[in-house]
Amino acid sequence: MDIIKQLVLSFLSTIGFSVLFSSPKETLGYAGLNGSIGWTLYYITTKVFHSNITGTFFGAVTVGLLGEFLARLRKKPATIFITSGIVPLVPGAGMYYTMLAIIENDFTMAATKGVETFFIAAAIAVGIIISSGFSRSIRRVKLKD
């Protein structure tokens, strides 16, 4: 039951950010689907591997690959789907707790949270880069045929 709640809430939050980013109306549902699938994979992977960083990486790769697929399907730029879809994975709470620990002079906790937040952000970047590179390599192979 919890996974269904996660799926629905990530779908709605992704649509909310799509509206905030002024995405075309016909892409809102697809962007929401992209974000909810990415978040659900993140949620499952985090439970299996007990690592937020690993879960974020797999979620970002999923969002990137699905965003590239949806871009071709709907004939829109991939950034419409990827930018909104990645928002549920962004480590906003980690950044908040890092700053809170700094304000409270708890530098050990600040370093711990800050490093974890940095690695989560890096996992998002690497996941998007890998999925984009994979998509471009497939496109090059199709063009050679």
Percent of the chain topping pLDDT 70: 99
Euclidean distance between CA atoms 145 and 138, whole angstroms: 11
The per-residue pLDDT for range 55-71, each reduced to its tens digit, is 999 999 999 999 999 99
Extents of the domains making up the chain = 2-144
The per-residue pLDDT for range 118-137, each reduced to its tens digit, is 999 999 999 999 998 888 88
Please list, in sequence order, all residues whose beta carbon lies within 8 angstroms of the beta carbon of residue 126, skipping any fewer than 6 positions away.
57, 60
Rg (CA), the chain: 16
Helix (H/G/I), strand (E/B), else coil: 127: helix
